[in-house]
Amino acid sequence: MGPGVVVAGLTAGAVAVVALLAVQADGAQARAEAARAAAGLPAEATPSAAPAPSAPALPASSGTGYRIVYSVSEHRVWLVDPRKTPQLQASFAVTPGSTEPPPGNYSVYSRSAAGKGTDRRQIEHVVRFAQQGDVVFGFGAAVDGSTAPPDPGLRTGGIRSARADGQLLWDFAPTGTRVVVAP
């Protein structure tokens, strides 16, 4: 058996393995969607947070470095990672609580995978960064997908996002991540 036959055999084997892995990977998404449907869970959401060319520019006072920027006036969040290209990893609209955090620099001090908001709704991907008196300020998403404005009779500091955007923020913001609140 010559070296050409061995090389041809190895090449054919490698092509077969790559083809098998490609078929398995292609079916993994379909199997995951089928499993979610069988469990009665909603389909995997497509994040609405992909930075689009039309995404508003970062506020001038948003600082530098790895950070979450929240604009009180625009009710928008930006996720910024200067180690990546583009630096703007995501930008999305949010619904503020009935009380807004004062502009300034904060750090994520607490996270919860799930819980209940001050408006009594089930929430997930909670990322807390400030507290003022009895009002806790943080980002989160309602499990039911609601982003309706809060009851004005309640003092809430929860900043709500769509579920997919909440997942992006959760993945981006471990404890200690800087949060810049811009006017």
Does residue 20 register a pLDDT over 70? no
Mean pLDDT over 112-133 rounds to 93
What proportion of the chain, given as a percentage, has pLDDT over 90? 60
Does residue 113 register a pLDDT over 60? yes
Determine which helix (DSSP H) or strand (DSSP E) holds 71, and give its type and residue range: strand 67-71
Exposure of 101 in the CB half-sphere (CA atoms within 13 A):
24
- Classify domain 67-182 at the CATH superfamily level: L,D-transpeptidase catalytic domain-like (2.40.440.10)
Q: Where are the domains of the chain?
A: 1-44, 67-182
> Sorting pLDDT into bands at 50, 70 and 90, what band is 126?
very high
Using the structure block, give the residue that is written with the tokens 């036959």.
5
Does residue 153 register a pLDDT over 90? no
Please choose, from the candidates 103, 107, 90, 96, the residue with its C-alpha nearest in 3D space to the C-alpha of residue 60: 103
pLDDT in tens, 67-100: 999 999 999 999 999 999 999 999 999 999 999 9
**Token output for 77:** 């969040």
